Amino acid sequence: MQHYRRQVAGGILFITLVLIAVVVVTGVDSLLARLDHFPVIYFVPVFVLKLVNWTLRYIEWRYFLGVIGVRTRWRGPTTPATPTTPPTIRERDSMILWLAGLTLAVSPGKLAEVLKALVLKHLTGVEFSRSAPVVFMERLVDGLAVILLAGVSLAFVTGSLPGSDLSSGYAVAVLVGTAAVLLAGIALLQVRPLVLGLIDRSARWPLIGRSHGALRTLYDSSYELLKLRHLGPMTLVGVGAYFTDAVGFYILLRGLGVEGSAALFAQAVFILGFSVIIAALSAMPGGAGGRELTIGTLLAGVAGLSRGDAGTATFLISLFQVWAGVLVGLVIIALFRNTLFPPALDREIAVYRAARQP
């Protein structure tokens, strides 16, 4: 457990340093002056939209749990599977686990999110190799959703890209390239005979062979989750989730005095979506650094904001895009520590880490 604590603590330290860097680059006096004139009432709809975003993303988590056979119910205890009933998780426990994941996600490469699958195993008995793909699916549908949003909005902002710090050709290349890699991976995993053949062949390999059963379970779970009937609807839910963030970003820009228009809204959707993609590709803790640099650069180059306005907008969206989730997750972890991380969980972690050792 200590290993994951260090990962999360390191991630929080990194995103803190990045936020401090945004303040320094913007200028403390410039940032404070703009925040002093920012209408506080604008924070209300932005926070409500953030709650909608979390709700939609929680729906993804809950849906994917159902796909792997974990039933969610409002009343009654969380229980493992029996010969006659499926594993069941109480809605309260499911929500607590998902909200805690908002903090775990700031670990380098989001590696600490593996704890969600280990906690789920401790609560419901569902094997780690079966539930781990759910964590991956959350990231996948988020990625596909922002690619769709950024791609559609790019058509409306292309005219403002040439001559700025980001050409339309580069933006298209990033969006198409990222989408192609994701879709190719999905298509490959759907070729069941090929993948199962490779897994069965690996059973004879040193080190990997001992994990053959877990690999089969991992693949079977991934294969089911990646079916179009699951992936399609949840990607649309992801589009809705990130669209609410884009609307919140637009409201923040209006609060800074930027004149509202359809063009500004399209720019807000594109800038936020593209920054999420760059943040994911950077694999930095919480996507910090890549996201802030992308947002600040595009707000100045595409939307034409001054350095002070661009820096303040970057500061504010970072608070709502990352820090709100981190703080909520920390509160949840503090309040429900015994539910999430009881001493018995250390055994699950030890087994998982031992299985990864050569």
SS (H, E, C) the chain: CHHHHHHHHHHHHHHHHHHHHHHHHHCHHHHHHHHHCCCHHHHHHHHHHHHHHHHHHHHHHHHHHHHCCCEEECCCCCECCCCCCCCEEEHHHHHHHHHHHHHHCCCHHHHHHHHHHHHHHHHHCCCHHHHHHHHHHHHHHHHHHHHHHHHHHHHHHHHHCCCCCCCHHHHHHHHHHHHHHHHHHHHHHCCHHHHHHHHHHHCCCCCCHHHHHHHHHHHHHHHHHCCHHHHHHHHHHHHHHHHHHHHHHHHHHHHCCCCCCHHHHHHHHHHHHHHHHHHHHHCCHHHCCHHHHHHHHHHHHCCCCCHHHHHHHHHHHHHHHHHHHHHHHHHHHHHCHHHHCCCCHHHHHHHHHHHHCC
Q: Cβ distance 46 to 248 under 8 Å?
A: yes
Whole-number Å distance between alpha carbons of 94 and 123: 10
More confident residue, 206 or 187: 187
More confident residue, 222 or 349: 222
Q: Does residue 208 surpass a pLDDT of 60?
A: yes
Q: What is the pLDDT of residue 297?
A: 87
Residues in the chain: 358
The strand pair at 71-73 and 88-90 is best described as parallel
Q: How many other CB atoms are there within 10 angstroms of residue 85's CB atom?
A: 10
Report the sign of the C-alpha dihedral through residues 69, 74, 79, 84, in that order. Answer: negative
Could you read off the pLDDT of 254-306 as tens digits, one per residue?
A: 999 999 899 899 999 999 999 999 888 887 887 888 889 989 988 988 888 88
Of 43, 241, 259, residue with least CA distance to 143: 241
Could you read off the pLDDT of 26-64 as tens digits, one per residue?
A: 999 999 999 999 999 999 999 999 999 999 999 999 999
Task: Name every residue whose Cβ is closer than 8 Å to that of residue 37 and which is 6 or more positions away in sequence.
Answer: 257
Task: Name every residue whose Cβ is closer than 8 Å to that of residue 112 and which is 6 or more positions away in sequence.
Answer: 4, 7, 8, 11, 104, 105
Could you read off the pLDDT of 281-293 as tens digits, one per residue?
A: 887 887 888 889 9
Task: Please give the radius of gyration of the chain, using alpha carbons only, rounded to the nearest integer.
Answer: 21
- For residue 89, list its beta bridge partners: 72
Assigned token pair, 60: 């993804």
Provide mean pLDDT across the span 118-136.
89
Whole-number Å distance between alpha carbons of 84 and 66: 17
Q: What is the pLDDT of residue 109?
A: 66
Q: Does residue 243 surpass a pLDDT of 70?
A: yes
Could you read off the pLDDT of 4-22 as tens digits, one per residue?
A: 778 888 889 999 999 999 9
